[in-house]
Amino acid sequence: MTLKEKCAVLEDRVKRLQEIGLALSTEDDINVIFELIMDEAKNITNADGRTLYMISDDSKTMKFEIMATDSMNSSQGGTTGVEITIPPMQLFNEDGTPNHSSIVTYSANTGKIVNIKDAYKEKGFDFTGAKNFDKDTGYRTTSVLSVPLKNHENDIVGVMQLINAKDPKSGEIISFSDHMQNQVESLASQGAVALTNKRLVAELKNLFESFIQLIATAIDKKSPYTGGHCERVPEITMLLADAVEKTKTGKYKDFSMNEDERYELYIAGWLHDCGKVATPPHIVDKGMKLETITDRIEVMDTRFEVLKRDAEISMLKKQIELMGKGMANGKIKSLVSEFDDKITQFNSDQTFIQKTNRGGEFMEEEDQQRVSNIGNYKWKLEGEEINLFDEKDVRNLQIPKGTLLPEEREIINDHIVITIDMLEKLPYPKKLRNVPEFAGGHHEKLDGTGYPKGLKDEEMSVQAKMMAIADIYEALTAADRPYKDGKKLSQAMRIMGFMKNDYEIDQDLFEIFVKEGVYKKYAKKYLGDDQLDKVDEAAVLA
C-alpha cells in the first residue's frame, strides 16, 4: 500500500469516526446505538463475530445486548427482536474476588484491552465456552479482541468483543492489528460516552416523571374525595388526543403531534392541578354545607333536641299550673295538641335542615327563606335566649348549589392561578415550554367566562381545550366527590352537550370525543356498573 493509499484510508477512518460520533450523539434509541457501535467495529476490523455486553446497575453481572456472526447468518438482540437467552456473565467469583477467567470479564474488571491471536493456543483465559460452541456448530474461533467501554468519567459500562478479523481481499482469518485495536478503542470510548449520556437523560426523564406523579399522588392523597383525579385526567386527555389525530374530516383533520408534543401534553395533564397543594383540605373536603373540620349538623341536631325538650318542659309546667287551678281537661288536651304540633314542626324542620346540609344542583328561594325562618327560632344557652342558627350557619345552609360559599369557591378556583404561577417558574427544556399553558387552561371556556384569565376560543390551544373536556368529564363521572355521587354516563354526556351548546367547550373536539367513543373507553375502565347506561349520542350532539 502506497503512502497516498494509507493517507486515504486514514482520512476515510477519521471521517467515519466523525460520522459515527454524530450519529451516536443524535440517536435516542439505545438499541440503535448498540448496533451503530457494533456495525462500525465491523467496518474497522471486518470481524466475523461481534458481541456487546453491558454492565448491570449493581455492577455484578454483564448482560448480552448484541450477538452477531456473519458467516452463520446469525443476529440476536438490539433491534432484531430476537431475544438473547444466554444468562448474564458473573463479574465476581463466589468468594467475592473479581472473575478474570474470561477475556470479557477480565476487561470489565481491569479496564484493559485483550488481543488474542488464536484462542486455541492462548494460555491464561478460559475459552471452554467458545470451544464448545465451535464443536457444536463447526465454527473456529481464532482471533479475539476484547475492548472495555469507558465513559467520560473512566467508568467501565460495558465490553465489546470481536471475533475473527478477516482480510478484506482474501477473506482469511487474521489477527487484530494494533491499528485496528486503536480505532476500536476510540470507537468504544465514543460509544460509552453516548450510551452514558442517553442513559443519564433517560434516568433524569424517569426521575422527572416520577417526581411529577409523586406530586400528583400527594395532591390526590391530600383528600380522600379526589383520589385518582390527577391520574385519570391525563389518561382521558391522551385518549382524546389519539382520536383527534386519527380524524380525517372537520376542523381538526390536519391536527397532529410528534412524540415530543405528545409527551408535553402528557406531562401537562399530570400537572394540571398541582396548585391544589396549597388549597386548604377542609375546603377541598367540604362535603356538607355545615362542614368545617367536622360536620356541624350534629350541633344543629342537638339544638333541635333542646328546642323539643324546652317545649315539653314548658308544656308540662303549664299542665301543672292548670291542674293546680282545677282547670278542665279540655284545656290540657288543647295544650298537648299544641305541643304535638310544635314537635311535628320541629321534626320536619330538622329533617329539612339535614337534607339541605347535603347540598345539591339547585336550591329554591323559598327553601332558602325557610332556612332563615328556622334560624330565627329561639333557644336558651346558659340562660341567654339566642337564635337557633348564627349568621354563618344560615349563609352555609342557603348555598344554592353545591356545598361551598362564594369565598370558599374562590379559594378552590385559586388553585389554577397557583398552578400557573408554579409552572411558569420552572426552567423547562424547549420540548416542554407549553406545559404551563396546556395545564393552566383547563378551566377556561370558549365564550370567555372561564378562569383565571377569561380566555376565548382563539386564545386557547387545542391541547388546553382537550384537557378542559377531560377535566369536566372526569369530574362529572367521579364517584368519590364529597358533594355528589358519580353521574350516570347519559347524565354526564347530556350536561357536556349543554356546555357544548353554550360555547363553553369546543364543539368539534366534543364531537370527536363522542363519535370516536373516547368517553366509552374511559367509562368501561373506571365507571361503576350502575353508571354505565345508554347514551343517546345524536341528542347529545344535537
What pLDDT does 197 receive? 81
Which tens digit of pLDDT belongs to each residue from 182-228? 989 988 888 888 888 888 888 888 888 888 888 877 776 766 555 57
Separation of CA 102 from chain center? 45
Task: Specify the 3-state DSSP secondary structure of 533.
Answer: coil
What number is the average pLDDT over the span 281-309? 81
pLDDT of residue 366: 94
> What DSSP letter does each residue of 187-253 carry, written as one string?
HHHHHHHHHHHHHHHHHHHHHHHHHHHHHHHHHHHH-TTSTTHHHHHHHHHHHHHHHHHH--SSTTT
Instruction: Give the model's pLDDT for residue 15.
Output: 66
Cell of 92: 465476581
| % residues pLDDT > 70 (the chain) | 91
Rounded average pLDDT over 502-525: 95
Q: Is the pLDDT of residue 338 over 70?
A: yes
Across 181-217, b (16+ Cβ under 10 Å) vs e yields bebbbbbbbbbbbbbbebbeeeeeeeeeeeebeebbe
Please check the confidence at residue 263 and state whether its pLDDT lies above 90. Answer: yes
Provide CB contacts within 8 A for 451, sequence distance 6+.
413, 416, 443, 444
Better-scored residue on pLDDT, 376 or 412: 376
**Residue 493 pLDDT > 90:** yes
Q: To 10 degrees, the CA torsion angle through 64, 69, 72, 75?
A: 50
DSSP string covering 344-356, please? HHHHHHHHHHHHH
pLDDT band at 456 (very low <50, low <70, confident <90, very high): very high
| Residue (of 451, 540, 450, 531) closest to 495 by Cα position | 540
Mean pLDDT of all residues in 74-102: 93
| The pLDDT value given to residue 401 | 84
Q: Mean of the pLDDT values across residues 377-406?
A: 88
- The pLDDT of residue 9: 59
pTM: 0.66
3-class secondary-structure state, position 400: coil
Confidence of residue 411 (pLDDT cuts 50, 70, 90): confident
Q: What is the model's pLDDT at position 62?
A: 94
Instruction: Bin 172: left if φ > 0, else alpha if -120 < ψ < 50, else beta.
Output: beta
Q: pLDDT for 15-66, tens place per residue? A: 666 666 666 666 677 788 888 888 889 988 999 999 999 999 899 999 999 9
pLDDT for 149-187, tens place per residue? 988 788 899 999 999 999 988 999 999 999 899 989 988
501, pLDDT greater than 90: yes
Q: Which band of pLDDT confidence, cut at 50, 70 and 90, is reported for residue 436?
A: very high
Residue 293 pLDDT level (bands cut at 50, 70, 90): low
Cβ atoms of 288 and 400 closer than 8 Å: no
The average pLDDT across 350-364 equals: 87
Residue 12: pLDDT band by 50, 70, 90 thresholds?
low
What sign has the CA pseudo-torsion 67, 73, 79, 83? negative
How far apart are alpha carbons 341 and 310 in whole angstroms? 14
Peptide bond into 280 cis (omega under 30): no
Residue 98's pLDDT is 95
Band of the pLDDT at 351, cuts 50, 70, 90? very high
Torsion over CA: 417, 421, 422, 427 (sign): positive
| pLDDT at position 101 | 93
The yes-or-no verdict on residue 96 having pLDDT over 60 is yes
Average model confidence (pLDDT) across the chain:
87
Residue 5: what pLDDT?
65
Torsion-angle region of 156 (φ positive above 0: left; ψ -120 to 50: alpha; else: beta): beta
Contact call for residues 172 and 181 (beta carbons, < 8 A): no
Which residues touch 282 (CB under 8 Å, ≥6 apart)? 291, 292, 293
Query: In sequence order, which residues have a C-beta less than 8 Å from that of residue 75 and are 6 or more positions away?
Result: 67, 68, 69, 82
Q: Which of 29-43, 109-123, 284-298 has the highest average model confidence (pLDDT)?
A: 109-123
